[in-house]
Structure 1
Amino acid sequence: MNKYPAAGKKTKSIKTNAILNSVRTVLNLLFPLITFTYVSRILSVGELGKYNFSSSIISYFLLLAALGIDKYAVREGAKYRDDRKKISQFSSEIFTINISSTLISYGCLFLYLIFSQKAQNYATCIIIFSIQIIFTTVGTEWLYVIYEEYKYITVRSIIFKIISIMLLFTFVKRPGDYLNYTAVTVFATVGSNVLNFIHARKLCNIHLKIHFEWMKRLVPILIIFASNVAIQIYVTSDITMLGYLKNDYTVGIYGVSTKIYNAILPVLAAALTVTIPRFSLYAGMKMKKEYDSLMLKVANSLFVIIFPSVIGLIMLSKNIVLIIGGSKYEASQTSLIILSIAIFFSIFSTLFNQCVLIPYRREKYSLFSSVFSACENIGLNFFMIPLLAERGAAITTVLAEFTMASMNFYNIRDIIGDIFINKITIRNILTILVGCTSIIVICVMSSAFISNIIIQTLVAIAGSFFVYTGSLFLLKNPIVNMMLDQIKNRLKKD
């Protein structure tokens, strides 16, 4: 038996991987904010509208090429990673399916560009974005997740994003350079995937393989794909429909608020990533007591983080838009305020889905709620976008996220319902709400007494953090008390 030595003999540290994953998440937050802050002052609103519309279109073809391969490959491939022969066979089958779906995706894209008159106006930008499709497939990112190669992924990501920023400052200098911006974005996203494919030889031997049980792999992949499609539709349909029902300017305005929203959301949800395997373990081993204890801590910790983040984002929405996009994007403030509310529902929907529904094998409920929310979002967009433009698109996103979270919770109420209706959770929420009022006061005061917008924002953030945490401490918030007890116990052990 030929084993991959690092996988078989040395188990990756969960703490180290969590730190590396956090670094990568923060990097993925900073990169789009840094680049967008620069290009929003170089390119026109209409040009960024073309960029955002083209990106939303290609996301559907990326989804078609990816199918549900990444989640399936990680779930099934982990059991083969200590056997080079078996992981090579498995990876070759997955890679062959991925290549096939990629060719189908390019074929569909070709037909779309031919028959869609709207798309022909954006053909060059869409074609540049389409490079992501083949490079994502060749990158076999799922293989590195199977082997928990977070160090390689993180270092590689940092290097290529630094190079991309240098390219951005070199090739995006004047209005009209939005195609150059598109190319730099593609390079930052998938440029390193060529190295992935070469480096993959150290892990296993990947090649095209025609003769294997296709249906054995395809059926579960397509089930995951169906859920991914529904989620992708209600995540990206806003911008796509704005492009069709309104104009490039409206897409550009909405693009700023969604850029900020999509950058902040994964950072706030990052804590969930490292808890998902533990929830799956407890559910699979029927360790209900341990599962409930962990869910109580995670859910209440999310309340502590999300409530002040949403309030702070609403209060500082104008400042953030002006700092990142400039005065010509000031109209984005309203849609950003609306989208801020969606953060709460989105994160808890993810908690209910990834940490309850899937571990307890209730994926069909997740699929149903995803499809229903997607249909709701699209249907409402036809009414709200013509009426309220980008504000209407933001409202439909909030409603779709609320529906998804509500339906997911309804389908797991028998598992974790008691956790959300107990003394600890109620006391936690009450103290948080009191603490959030201090955030509002600090933001209003900083706005009244400080004229410089950057200093005003920094003071508001720092002041809100200290006053909010101080309030929770004085009010003896149960989560803060739990953290303090853990710190005391560690100090005693040392």
Structure 2
Amino acid sequence: MGTGRRIYKNTIYLGAAEIVSKLLQFVVMLYAARLLSKGDFGKFNFALSLSLIAIVFADLGINSFLIREISRDRRLAGKYFMNAFFVKIALAFITYFLIAAALNALNYPMDTRQIVYIIWIFAILSTFTELFYSIFRAFEMMQYDAFLKIFRMALLTAAGLYVLFSGYGIVAFSYTFVLVELVVVLAAFLIALKKFIAINPFFNFKFAKSMLKSALPFGLAFVFGSIYFYIGSVMLSKMRGNEEVAIYSAAYNLALALLFIPTVYTNAIYPVLSRYYKSSKEKLGILYEKSFKYLYIIGLPISVGSYFLAGRIMQFFYGNEYASSAIALQIISWYMFIKFLNFLLGTTLSSIDRQDKRMLGQGLTAGFNVLLNFMLIPKIGYVGAAWATFATEIFLFILYYLYVSKGLYFYNFGRILAKPLIATVAMLLVIKFAGFGLILTILVSALAYFAALYFLRAVDEDDKKIMRTIFQNERLQQDR
């Protein structure tokens, strides 16, 4: 199968899995917010955030490193897998002691610790699931990755909703995550064993040490990224309590559900950007500019619409209990817009061999985010956490933009701002004067926005050619 066809096929698999998984994840968290008490929902989100920060220490970039190395020589898959497996077991114990020390130092009550330890088990199992995903991706067989992601979320949705509607509470709901992940990791193991690797209990300390050292640059980027992504909920829990975590998380989860859009797009263009970096800097620059434009065009109306419809959105999804989340959503809506662009900038840095700059940017951003949270949360609580999230994303955008401008070339994006901004006026007129229900308002305002873009000719023939370059198989390099 040609390179282009593989890229196209794998993009479809991963894109479909990302969309379905994000949708089902949002459904589960939506009903958790509605059916658990606000305190319990906040407690669960705190446990999830803390565990997802800790879990990067149980990986330290090993999964990404394995994809790169095994894809270069698939005969070494078994050797890399077994050494990575044993290293991850050791790292899992280290993360347990880190979490236990953090909970003791911060003096959390026993009921909160119980939920954290349960979710930690889920997180540890998930890092082994991701290890198998690395094997599938290295062999460019992403259909197994996609199937298991959808299977996981379908099973979790069914089991989680049953537990929630049956009134079993937060402990049973947390155990649901563990049991589902156990089933998924066993399924991943069986697929890997049958299709890709032969299990040989071989461990070479010297080889494992070298592997961990080589994986560390990937790991540090993930550590920094996880800190600024999740630390707000952790700090909010300690400084203001779990109810404010619930209010903040209700808005934040809505934003996370929409991030599949830049994820799918940047996954599609990443191999093309990487190839153009070696073959044609001119084509690389054109694709970068056009991608910036597309994500700006898509991200802008989502953020503007979320800002002006925040109250109605929170009422529709969460009910009156989370009405106070509307102000957090208004702030986080602008975080989404900047995040769309940062997905592209970060991907571009990786494609032009500037992973060190990406890691540096994430490290500085993580420190900036922690500082802002320390300053804002004690004074204005969840609103401060939302402002810290938004300001942090702007800070990262500035760093990434400077790095890309220096490593690739300077792109003056001011020339693409006007037409989408004008189109949002048409969208806002619908939002303000149409008087429809929420869903119809969103659909009609989106139609008005894209109709205005069409009449303004914001998308031209060059844009269509670029999309064909990305997705048409024959335009991509073929295997010989």
TM-score over 0.5 for the pair: yes
Could you say which residue in structure 2 is the equivalent of 1:315? 308
User: Which of 409, 419, 426 is 1:438 aligned to?
Assistant: 426
The answer to which of 10-19 and 294-303 deviates more is: 10-19
The alignment partner of 1:219 has SS state of helix
Q: Distance in 2 between matches of 1:486 and 1:45?
A: 45
| Aligned pairs (5 A) from 1:385-404 | 385-404=377-396
Q: Distance in 1 between matches of 2:462 and 2:78?
A: 49
Displacement of 1:111 in angstroms is: 4.0
Displacement of 1:130 in angstroms is: 1.6
Displacement of 1:33 in angstroms is: 2.1
The answer to which of 114-123 and 292-301 deviates more is: 114-123
Could you say which residue in structure 2 is the equivalent of 1:120? 110
User: Which of 317, 327, 335 is 1:324 aligned to?
Assistant: 317
Describe the shift of the 1:293–1:319 C-alpha distance in structure 2 as closer, same or farther (beyond 3 A): same
Letter paired with 1:373: T
User: Which of 439, 457, 460 is 1:476 aligned to?
Assistant: 457
Asked whether the 8 Å contact 1:102–1:137 carries over to 2, the reply is no
Displacement of 1:173 in angstroms is: 2.8
| Aligned pairs (5 A) from 1:229-248 | 229-248=223-242
Q: Which has the higher contact order (CA 8 A, sep 6+)?
A: 2
| Aligned pairs (5 A) from 1:275-424 | 275-283=269-277, 285-355=278-348, 357-421=349-413
Could you say which residue in structure 2 is the equivalent of 1:146? 138
| Aligned pairs (5 A) from 1:12-91 | 13-81=6-74, 83=75, 86-91=76-81
Q: Percent identity?
A: 19
Q: How many residues are treated as equivalent by the alignment?
A: 465
Displacement of 1:97 in angstroms is: 2.3
Q: Distance in 2 between matches of 1:18 and 1:232?
A: 24
Displacement of 1:349 in angstroms is: 2.1
Letter paired with 2:16: V
Letter paired with 1:445: F
Could you say which residue in structure 2 is the equivalent of 1:453? none
Displacement of 1:26 in angstroms is: 1.1
Q: Distance in 1 between matches of 2:201 and 2:94?
A: 16
Q: Distance in 1 between matches of 2:260 and 2:158?
A: 25
Letter paired with 1:98: K
The answer to which of 329-338 and 463-472 deviates more is: 463-472
Asked whether the 8 Å contact 1:36–1:325 carries over to 2, the reply is no
Letter paired with 2:96: Y
Could you say which residue in structure 2 is the equivalent of 1:251? 245
Letter paired with 2:235: M
Unmatched segments (≥5 aa) in structure 1: 1-7, 451-455
Letter paired with 1:463: V
Describe the shift of the 1:208–1:320 C-alpha distance in structure 2 as closer, same or farther (beyond 3 A): farther
Asked whether the 8 Å contact 2:48–2:119 carries over to 1, the reply is yes
Displacement of 1:240 in angstroms is: 0.4
The alignment partner of 1:192 has SS state of helix
Unmatched segments (≥5 aa) in structure 2: 472-480
Letter paired with 2:401: F
Describe the shift of the 1:119–1:97 C-alpha distance in structure 2 as closer, same or farther (beyond 3 A): farther
Could you say which residue in structure 2 is the equivalent of 1:200? 192
Describe the shift of the 1:155–1:371 C-alpha distance in structure 2 as closer, same or farther (beyond 3 A): closer
Describe the shift of the 1:438–1:382 C-alpha distance in structure 2 as closer, same or farther (beyond 3 A): same
User: Which of 92, 98, 108 is 2:88 aligned to?
Assistant: 98
The answer to which of 134-143 and 245-254 deviates more is: 134-143
Describe the shift of the 1:224–1:161 C-alpha distance in structure 2 as closer, same or farther (beyond 3 A): closer
Kindly indicate whether residue 440 of structure 2 is the aligned counterpart of residue 459 of structure 1: yes
Could you say which residue in structure 2 is the equivalent of 1:4? none
Could you say which residue in structure 1 is the equivalent of 2:210? 216
Could you say which residue in structure 2 is the equivalent of 1:3? none
Letter paired with 1:179: V
Letter paired with 1:240: V
Asked whether the 8 Å contact 1:17–1:151 carries over to 2, the reply is yes
Q: Distance in 2 between matches of 1:442 and 1:345?
A: 24
Asked whether the 8 Å contact 1:57–1:240 carries over to 2, the reply is yes
Letter paired with 2:287: L
Q: Distance in 1 between matches of 2:109 and 2:214?
A: 33
Could you say which residue in structure 1 is the equivalent of 2:474? none
Q: Distance in 1 between matches of 2:426 and 2:285?
A: 32
Q: Deviations over 1:275-334 (max 9, x none)?
A: 111111221x24211211211221111111111111122122222212221110011011
Displacement of 1:336 in angstroms is: 0.9
Could you say which residue in structure 1 is the equivalent of 2:476? none
Asked whether the 8 Å contact 2:126–2:185 carries over to 1, the reply is yes
Letter paired with 2:31: Y
The answer to which of 437-446 and 207-216 deviates more is: 207-216
Q: Deviations over 1:336-388 (max 9, x none)?
A: 11011112222222222221x22222223222221211111111111211111
Q: Distance in 2 between matches of 1:308 and 1:291?
A: 27
Q: Distance in 1 between matches of 2:77 and 2:167?
A: 49
